Structure 1
């Protein structure tokens, strides 16, 4: 199982469509394969400078830790020293805010999507919309 370019582009396009429907701030969306390689990326006009880096850190964090960044953020609240150490070890390439969502197919992690630009909650909802559009509903793929 692998993440196709077509699926990654669908995720990106649908996530941005969801953002516009929600009147979200301009977003950056990145889709990584299971090895952390970029498959698709888009940055909306007006998205601020670091949005790409934050989106990538969300996706990499989800991949590297094996869970969505919403879950990681909750875990970090109870074990700040450990998660601070993780951030240092990975050179800051991890973000503890919702919007980094694993992509699974038949229970196997095949990649991750990272979104940054609005609230973490909005970023995450846009990621879910992208996955659903690509037939990769996160609720049914765990």
Structure 2
């Protein structure tokens, strides 16, 4: 995940949010190692949103699945998801909005978005990823 690609994802995700009339978003883009490549917090976004967006993206990378799938797993295996969150220092937010980013078969990072409903956050992430010519993995 290079900086220009990450910036494209952020801009397109924010544009999607504005067009859809979403609440102020925070967008966090990570490389496959969990390092922040780009992050933006829109005016009016509440405090703690960076950490929530980071947790959605980082958790997706840590478990190898989108945060929507982690939510479903938490409903079935609450102890596992709780323990996994503790094992990675609490950086796991198991609700939609954390999306893995693929370039063909290669994992290139993850996007975490927060600010509106989790379903809307996820839709903005997918829009940003697809605008960059990459594939979003929510499963």
SS at match of 1:138: strand
1:116 pairs, out of 114, 117, 120, with: 114
1:35 pairs, out of 26, 33, 36, with: 33
Deviation at 1:138, TM superposition (A): 2.1
Q: Paired residue for 2:3? A: 5
Q: Paired residue for 2:53? A: 55
Misfit runs of 4+, over 2 Å:
none
Rounded to whole Å, the distance in 2 between the matches of 1:20 and 1:83 is 33
TM-score (norm 2): 0.96
Alpha-carbon deviations, 1:50-71, whole Å to 9, x = none? 1100000000000000010001
Q: Paired residue for 1:26? A: 24
1:72 pairs, out of 51, 55, 70, with: 70
Contact 2:54 2:112 in 1 (8 A): yes
* Number of residue pairs matched by the alignment: 138
Structure 1, gaps ≥5 residues long: none
Deviation at 1:111, TM superposition (A): 0.4
SS at match of 1:46: coil
Deviation at 1:87, TM superposition (A): 1.4
Rounded to whole Å, the distance in 1 between the matches of 2:5 and 2:23 is 24
